[in-house]
């Protein structure tokens, strides 16, 4: 049996996604978690389009969508009255194969990922914790502890997906700077009935109060998130029944049973680094932020995908170890930007100053329904919340511009009716895309010699709308981001790029041309 090459600590969505993507790329992994088993609380709930696009690459997106609930609308409430209704059904049409927001609870999410791992021969080792680790140029030495027994083992890489109190982050000595919001929040997973309980995101817009109601797991079950009201501030031992009058006043909602209830404070922090040598951190181990927009879990999964293909390429000899440095530069830049943007959004939703009150009680319910009638605004909002706008323009891996697409951008999505340009991404490998009908001299030969599959897509108006340039070439990374773009099919520039990056893709391919009408 092959030695496990990567140790993953933490079996939340980030760690499980890391294990799935590495295993699907042929990298043996071992994943451990000190918990007794999968989580029992619903916790993170929103799954965005970019995450579903990643899941499509490994063949599980359809199951995730079928298990969740599509959020069809945003309904705004004030003192028990529905004051605005904004349709969200497929508001990202033509931007992604998943143009919606999905509600899918973390506990069910984790169980699905664990099942998918089991199907490919990987079991999560629960009740097992990382006791210590050291690293050198040859690998990582770790001590795993289970039931009081220690096991010494070695790996090529260690990935810490072990949450905000990460043992791996602490072992690396990485700072975790940030702060904590003043407000105390509550979260509950309940069965309920009443006016707001449908297939939409329901939001309270009162001057002083903040609460949302979101459907989970089908009919009758909902997630409640809000700020502890003024009359309960400072009280010890708050239980859900204390909140019933508050919820009735805001939404006229009737809760029949409570599955889970908790009170917590919200933090916003980013680690000072995500990678040191052969050890990396991902997800909450590297960044935590406000719940605004449901970005946390999705960002962790994005970390996992970014890091996993780079580790896989290094271990398979396709890329030099230096490519791993781009994991930190790409993902820490996004994490800092996300913490900043969600902080601004969150404060606008909860602040009681004049600006916050005007935003909640006037701008949102008055302007949002009207503005959402415009396609451009719907598209902008979808890009913002769905994470399809994430780009790595400043990455050492990004070079060139063709059309509206700059290297580092996620490859624009194009639907052909009988298929789309995201289908080839399921190979989890580097590939060349040409959108048009003219192959420049030497392009196919160069791609074949390099071991790169060349996909040629017959030109359509949808490609121009997506920002692609006719007869340009795009080198696409395993995670679906454009690494190199050339409007003139500059084969020499492509060769220079590949050589400068130290990228080698193996033996020449037999067939390097795919035509999609």
Can you read off the two tokens belonging to residue 398?
């990004």
Is the confidence at residue 229, as pLDDT, over 70? yes
Average confidence (pLDDT) over 8-15:
98
Residue 292 binned pLDDT confidence (cut-offs 50, 70, 90): low
Quick check: helix, strand or coil at residue 250? Answer: helix
Check residue 509 and give its pLDDT.
64
- Going by C-alpha positions, the residue among 97, 96, 50, 20 that lies closest to residue 391 is 50
Q: Which residues contact 443 (CB under 8 A, 6 or more apart)?
A: 432, 434, 454, 473, 489, 491
| Cβ atoms of residues 32 and 129 within 8 Å | yes
Weakest-pLDDT range from 92-101, 270-279, 437-446, 463-472:
437-446
Is the confidence at residue 511, as pLDDT, over 50? no
Is the confidence at residue 345, as pLDDT, over 90? no
Residue ranges of domains in the chain, CATH in brackets: 6-38+47-62+103-177+268-346 (3.50.50.60), 401-516 (3.40.30)
More confident residue, 170 or 86: 170
Check residue 234 and give its pLDDT.
81
Distance CA 81, CA 348 (A): 21
Average confidence (pLDDT) over 458-481:
96
| Cβ atoms of residues 112 and 67 within 8 Å | yes
Distance CA 214, CA 184 (A): 20
- Report pTM: 0.94
pLDDT in tens, 351-405: 666 666 677 776 777 888 888 888 899 999 899 899 999 999 999 999 999 999 9
Average confidence (pLDDT) over 249-275:
91
Average confidence (pLDDT) over 501-507:
88
pLDDT in tens, 134-189: 999 999 999 999 999 999 999 999 999 999 999 999 999 999 998 888 888 899 99
Check residue 19 and give its pLDDT.
98
Check residue 367 and give its pLDDT.
84
Check residue 67 and give its pLDDT.
94
CB atoms within 10 A of CB 126: 16
Check residue 207 and give its pLDDT.
66
Check residue 198 and give its pLDDT.
72
Residue 515 binned pLDDT confidence (cut-offs 50, 70, 90): low
Is the confidence at residue 510, as pLDDT, over 80? no
% residues pLDDT > 90 (the chain): 66
Check residue 109 and give its pLDDT.
96
Check residue 512 and give its pLDDT.
44
List Cα–Cα distances, 132 to 31, 142, 402, 477, 480, in angstroms: 15, 6, 48, 34, 35
């Amino acid at each position: 049996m092959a030695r496990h090459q990567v140790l993953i600590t933490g079996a939340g969505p980030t760690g499980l996604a890391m294990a799935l993507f590495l295993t699907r790329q042929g990298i043996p992994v071992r994943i451990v978690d000190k918990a007794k088993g999968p989580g029992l609380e619903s916790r993170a709930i929103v799954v965005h389009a970019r995450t579903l696009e990643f899941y499509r690459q490994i063949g599980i997106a359809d199951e995730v969508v079928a298990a969740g609930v599509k959020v069809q609308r945003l309904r705004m409430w004030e003192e028990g009255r529905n004051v605005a209704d904004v349709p969200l059904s497929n508001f990202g049409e033509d931007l992604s194969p998943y143009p919606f927001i999905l509600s899918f609870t973390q506990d069910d999410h984790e169980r699905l990922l664990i099942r998918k791992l089991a199907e490919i021969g990987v079991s999560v080792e629960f009740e097992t914790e990382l006791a210590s680790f050291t690293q050198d140029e040859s690998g990582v030495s770790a001590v795993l502890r289970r039931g009081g027994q220690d096991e010494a083992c070695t790996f090529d890489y260690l990935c810490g997906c072990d949450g905000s109190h990460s043992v791996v982050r602490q072992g690396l000595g990485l700072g975790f700077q940030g702060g904590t919001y003043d407000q105390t929040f509550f979260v509950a997973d309940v069965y309920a009935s009443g006016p707001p309980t449908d297939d939409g995101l329901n939001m309270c817009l009162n001057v002083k109060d903040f609460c949302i109601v979101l459907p989970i797991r089908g009919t009758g079950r909902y997630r409640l998130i809000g700020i502890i009201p003024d009359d309960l501030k400072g009280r010890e031992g708050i239980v859900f029944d204390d909140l019933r009058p508050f919820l009735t006043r805001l939404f006229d909602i009737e809760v029949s049973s409570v599955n889970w209830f908790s009170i917590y404070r919200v933090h916003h922090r980013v680690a000072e680094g995500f990678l040191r040598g052969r050890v990396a951190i991902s997800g909450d181990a590297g960044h935590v932020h406000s719940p605004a927009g449901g970005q946390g879990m999705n960002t962790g999964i994005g970390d996992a995908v970014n890091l996993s293909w780079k580790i896989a390429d290094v271990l398979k000899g396709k890329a030099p170890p230096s490519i791993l440095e781009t994991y930190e530069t790409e993902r820490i830049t996004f994490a800092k930007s996300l913490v900043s943007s969600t902080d601004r959004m969150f404060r606008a939703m909860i602040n009681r100053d004049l600006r916050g009150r005007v935003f909640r009680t006037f701008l949102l319910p008055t302007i949002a329904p009207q503005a959402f009638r415009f396609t451009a605004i719907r598209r902008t909002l979808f890009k913002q919340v769905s994470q399809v706008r994430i780009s790595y323009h400043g990455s050492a891996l990004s070079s060139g511009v063709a059309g509206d697409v700059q290297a580092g951008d996620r490859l624009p999505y194009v639907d052909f009716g009988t298929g789309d340009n995201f289908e080839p991404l399921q190979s989890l490998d580097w590939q060349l895309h040409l959108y048009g009908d003219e192959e420049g001299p030497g392009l196919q030969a160069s791609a074949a010699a390099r071991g790169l599959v060349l996909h040629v897509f017959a030109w359509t108006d949808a490609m121009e709308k997506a920002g692609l340039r006719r007869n340009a070439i795009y080198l696409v990374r395993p995670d679906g981001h454009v690494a190199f773009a050339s409007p003139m099919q500059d084969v020499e520039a492509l060769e220079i790029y590949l050589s400068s990056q130290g990228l080698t893709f193996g033996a020449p391919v037999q067939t390097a041309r795919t035509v999609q009408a």
